[in-house]
Amino acid sequence: MKKISSLSVMVLFSLSLFAQSPGIEAAIGQFMAGLPDKAEVSIGLTHNGKTYQYGYAKAEGKVQTKKNENAIFEIGSITKTFTATLLMEQVENGNMQLDGAIQQYLPVSMKQPTYEGHSISLKHLATHTSELNPSPGSFLGPFLKSKLFAPQNPYKYMKAKHYYRYLKGFKLNYVPGKKWVYNNAAIGLLGELVARQQQSTWETLVQEKLFEPLGMNNSYFRITKELKGRMVQGYNAKGKKAALWEMDFINPAGVIKSTLNDMMKWLAAQLDPPTAELQYLTTTHQALDIPMPLEGHAMGIGWVHKIVDEDTRFLWHNGGTGGYHSFLGFDKGQGNGAVILTNICSSHPQMKNEAGKSKVDALGFELLRLLRETK
C-alpha cells in the first residue's frame, strides 16, 4: 500500500482518465478528506462503456490508495434489488402475479386478508406499501434473544415462523398501497414466498439465478473462516469494530456480502443484461411513481427512482448495516453508473454531511450527475 503525501495528488493520479471532468476528482477528494480514520472505500464508475475502479484507506488523517476491488464488504439493503429481481423472474414466467394477493402464496391463513375488496399484494411487499408491521409482537422473543446473545446482530434469531405467527392473527382494516413505510420484514416475507413458490430457498435462488449467470463468484451470504482475511473490518457509529450481520428471515432484505468487482457486474447487468435469459432484470426498472417521504424520489420495484427532470431518472439503492454503508445507482438513459462500498456505519457522525444526510449517498448522486455531464 503506497502512501501519498497529498490527497489532491492522490486523487488526480487515480482519476487521470477523467481529466475532462475535474468535478469528479474534487467530489471524491472532498469525500475522502471528511471520512474518519479506519475508513476504507472502494469506488467503481461506468461511463461510455468503460469501467473505472478506485480504492482508498484512511489512517492517522492521511488517505492512501489501496487495491481493494476484491475485498469483501457488506452491501446491506442493496440486497433488496436481488430479491425484487427474483420476484420479477417469476412474474415474467407466469408463476406469480405482481398484483396477486399474498394470501395465495402463504403457508398460513390470515385472519382477515381482505378489506373492502382489497388485499395485500406481492407488489405492496416489494414497494414498501403493504403497511404490515415491520416489528410485530412475535418478534419480541427473537429480539430479546439477540440483545442477550448477539447484541450486534439485531435480526439474527428472527425466523419466518415468527412472522407467520403474526400473519395468522392479522386483520386487514385498511386499503394497502396508500402509504410508503420502509419494511425489512416485508422484503423478508417476499423472499420467503418467492422461494416457496419454487420449492427452494432464497439463498439458493440468488446463487443459481443471479450470482452464477453473472459471474459474481465473490458474493456471499455468510463469511467462512477461509474468507475472513478478505473481509474489510466494519466500524459502528462509535468507531468501534462491528460484527457482521448474520440473519435468517431478514436475509432477503440485507444479508449479501460482496466486492466492488462483483457489484460492478450487478451494475452492468442493469444497464445491459448479458444474455437473453436475463433480460427480465430490466422489468424491475419500471416507473411506478409511488410517492415517498424523500422529496424528488419515487418507489419502484426494488429500486428507488430519483427524478432529476422529465427525461432523467437515477435508479438507486443504498445499504446500511452495523458497520458498513453502500450505494449503487445508475443513469440508464446515459449508460452511466456508480458503486460505493465503505466500512463505516452511516450513523457515525463523520459519515453525515451538514444536512444530516449520508455522505456516501450524496457522493453517489453527485457522481451520477457529473458522469452525465462528462462527454
Instruction: Return per-residue pLDDT of the chain as tens, 375 residues.
Output: 333 333 433 443 344 455 556 789 889 999 999 999 999 999 999 998 899 999 999 999 999 999 999 999 999 999 999 999 999 999 999 999 999 999 999 999 999 999 999 999 999 999 999 999 999 999 999 999 999 999 999 999 999 999 999 999 999 999 999 999 999 999 999 999 999 999 999 999 999 999 999 999 999 999 999 999 999 999 999 999 999 999 999 999 999 999 999 999 999 999 999 999 999 999 999 999 999 999 999 999 999 999 999 889 999 999 999 999 999 999 999 999 999 999 999 999 999 998 999 999 999 999 999 999 987
Q: What angle do CA 323, 324, 325 make, to 5 degrees?
A: 145
Instruction: Give the fold, CATH level 3, of 73-373.
Output: Beta-lactamase (3.40.710)
Domain ranges of the chain: 73-373
Question: Residues 6 or more apart from 349 whose CB is under 8 A from it?
Answer: 237
With cell 457522493, the residue in question is 363
- Name the amino acid, one letter, at 197: Q
Distance CA 342, CA 74 (A): 9
In DSSP terms, which residues pair with 304 in a beta bridge?
299, 316
Question: Residues 6 or more apart from 201 whose CB is under 8 A from it?
Answer: 195
pTM of the complete model: 0.94
